[in-house]
Chain A
Amino acid sequence: MFDRDPAGVRIELRELTKHYPGQPAPAVDNVSLDIPAGELVVFVGPSGCGKTTTMKMINRLVEPTSGQIRIGGQDVLGLHPDELRRHIGYAIQQVGLFPHLTVGQNVAMVPKLLGWPAAKVAARVEELLELVSLDPGTFRDRYPRQLSGGQQQRVGVARALAADPPVMLMDEPFGATDPITREHLQNEFAKLQKQLRKTIIFVTHDFEEAIRLGDRIAVLRERSHIAQYDTPANILAAPADDYVAGFIGQDATLKRLALLRVEDVPYESPLPDPALPAVAAGATLREALDTMVAHAADRCSTPSGVITYAALCGAVGTAHEQAPEEVTAGDR
């Protein structure tokens, strides 16, 4: 099968359509999309736009009416659905852990189905629980009901990763948690994906989440029509139309600053200046701007130099006027 290389394979959707019998219009209409190997692509769109249906056609929980799906060049519609699904990780919002099985048994389910030897399964469970920051000794023998919502989501992700599938499908996997836990899980997951480089399709209606996690974003309108498919930075810089712009909201430039890091921007003077407010090298430009505004300064000290308000404007491609000089004049 396509998973000889667990580091991610390309997914191609060709003229994919799902028409439920008795419905006037198709739920998903003629979608074609290429998802490059090892990238995380977010399907974002309002409820009922067909994004989940599109995703579920890839592991054939929903059978397409017409069209083609290829994973790593292989036509998945010719494979046995159960066999196919064992090679695609699947995580959903409600998690759906098996309540009668322990955390360890939940994670071990697919490797066991694939006939892995017991010792390999046990080692894999240990490795995965550590990967999602759950201590194996503490959590392996617990039951899902004994876990918090965030811990359950982690187990859900570990279970989806269990057989090291090259492809993962995730349907709002962090949706059911509180905002703080959610952001924490998102950051951890982004770090994890940097390391794993799986090909991931991630469905959400939260544009912030899409920006935070996606290598690319497909903004979908009804019937899963693709309004725009590009990197987060490009979508924020040049939304294709009013629909996409409406999805982004009013603060597109701030969102773009949040995508860039202080270390990515050319700094001005070669030495850090202890008199100026300081930001970390790994901080986002949005945080740098926040620091500047909070201190009424137009420059910040970074570990390797000083970045200016002008550099921030340059980073998002807007021309910088001299006005901020006056703001900071009294400060110096």
Chain B
Amino acid sequence: MTFSEYVVSRWDTLSLAAAEHALVVAVAIGIATAVGVGIGLLTYETPKARGASLALSAGILTIPSLALLTLLIPFTGLGWGSTLIALTGYAFLPIIRNTVTGLRGVDAATVEAGRGMGLSSARVLLRVRLPLAWPLILAGVRISTQMLIGIAAIAAYVDGPGLGNQIFEGLARLGSVNSLNATLAGTLGIVVIAVLFDAGFSAVRLLTTPRGLRVRP
């Protein structure tokens, strides 16, 4: 069977796996963005809290994915639960780091002018700092997403959703019928998902970056 024949004949399985792969990444990124940006907003001004949140999220990232997924099995079992928790944990560092860097990088004069004209500190944060930091925050989310799309393949080890199953099945049966096709389909599928997500982020960046930051002098 050629590769294209394999893809056509297994289209239902493959497309479902791809959709699940994209979904689990999207859900994990959604949660990590909400929580991570929140942590960034709360900690960017206090050096201790900022250092702690960055150290913790960096610490999570040092745990090998296979080990983390296995460690989670006693608590959240096989499948979606463990996959989602592990992926969410891995996504924090780029998001928190970029949120903090973006919020702190806003021009001091702009903030002083805002305070000087009577914006409360909450207003300065939400109306001035956050919109100005947004392109950098979005870049962090984008990096996390690309990272998670790759890591999500490992989730097949704990019976998680996604295209990882194709890859591991193929590798386990290497040499038998369709083993190479399965591995290839899983890998290429992940590449396609990564490219689509990235295109999506380009569009989101274009649509959500304030126009004043995009204009050329």
A residues engaging B (CB < 8 A)?
Answer: 59, 61, 82-87, 90, 92, 94-102, 109-110, 113, 143-146, 156, 159-160, 169
B109 near A145: Cβ-Cβ < 8 Å:
no
Check if B112 is an interface residue, CB within 8 A of chain A: yes
Given the known A-B contacts A83-B118, A113-B118, are A96 and B107 also in contact in the complex, defined by CB atoms under 8 Å? yes
Please give me the residue from chain A that is nearest to B112 by CB atom. A96
Check if B200 is an interface residue, CB within 8 A of chain A: no
Check if B116 is an interface residue, CB within 8 A of chain A: yes
B110 near A99: Cβ-Cβ < 8 Å:
yes
B114 cross-chain contacts in A, Cβ below 8 A: 96, 98
B117 near A143: Cβ-Cβ < 8 Å:
no
B217 cross-chain contacts in A, Cβ below 8 A: 145-146
Can you name 18 A-B residue pairings with CB atoms under 8 Å?
A59-B116, A61-B112, A82-B119, A82-B120, A92-B116, A94-B107, A94-B109, A97-B113, A98-B128, A99-B110, A101-B212, A109-B119, A113-B118, A145-B215, A145-B217, A146-B216, A146-B217, A160-B117
B132 cross-chain contacts in A, Cβ below 8 A: 99-100
Given the known A-B contacts A96-B109, A97-B110, A99-B132, are A145 and B212 also in contact in the complex, defined by CB atoms under 8 Å? yes
A82 near B118: Cβ-Cβ < 8 Å:
yes
The 10 closest A-B pairs by CB, nearest first: A96-B113, A94-B109, A86-B118, A100-B210, A90-B116, A85-B118, A143-B212, A96-B109, A100-B212, A96-B110
Interface band, chain B:
20 to 34
* Chain B positions 195 through 217: 1 when the CB is less than 8 Å from some CB of chain A, otherwise 0: 00000000000000011110111
Chain A min CB distance to B130 (Å)? 10
- Complex Cα–Cα for A303 and B85 (A): 87
B107 cross-chain contacts in A, Cβ below 8 A: 94, 96
- Complex Cα–Cα for A160 and B114 (A): 11
A92 near B118: Cβ-Cβ < 8 Å:
no
Chain A min CB distance to B153 (Å)? 38
B113 near A146: Cβ-Cβ < 8 Å:
no
Please give me the residue from chain A that is nearest to B211 by CB atom. A143
Chain A min CB distance to B105 (Å)? 13
Given the known A-B contacts A82-B120, A109-B117, are A98 and B110 also in contact in the complex, defined by CB atoms under 8 Å? yes
A95 cross-chain contacts in B, Cβ below 8 A: 109, 113
Chain A min CB distance to B213 (Å)? 6
B128 cross-chain contacts in A, Cβ below 8 A: 98
B117 near A159: Cβ-Cβ < 8 Å:
yes
B115 near A61: Cβ-Cβ < 8 Å:
yes
- Complex Cα–Cα for A90 and B117 (A): 6
B119 near A99: Cβ-Cβ < 8 Å:
no
Chain A min CB distance to B208 (Å)? 11
- Complex Cα–Cα for A98 and B106 (A): 10
Check if B131 is an interface residue, CB within 8 A of chain A: yes
- Complex Cα–Cα for A97 and B107 (A): 10
A96 cross-chain contacts in B, Cβ below 8 A: 107, 109-114
Chain B min CB distance to A93 (Å)? 8
A156 cross-chain contacts in B, Cβ below 8 A: 113
- Complex Cα–Cα for A99 and B213 (A): 7
B117 cross-chain contacts in A, Cβ below 8 A: 85-86, 90, 109-110, 159-160
Q: A82-B120, A99-B210, A156-B113 are in contact. List 17 more A-B contacts (CB 8 A).
A: A82-B118, A83-B118, A84-B118, A87-B118, A92-B109, A94-B107, A95-B113, A96-B112, A96-B114, A97-B113, A98-B114, A101-B212, A102-B212, A109-B119, A144-B212, A145-B217, A146-B217
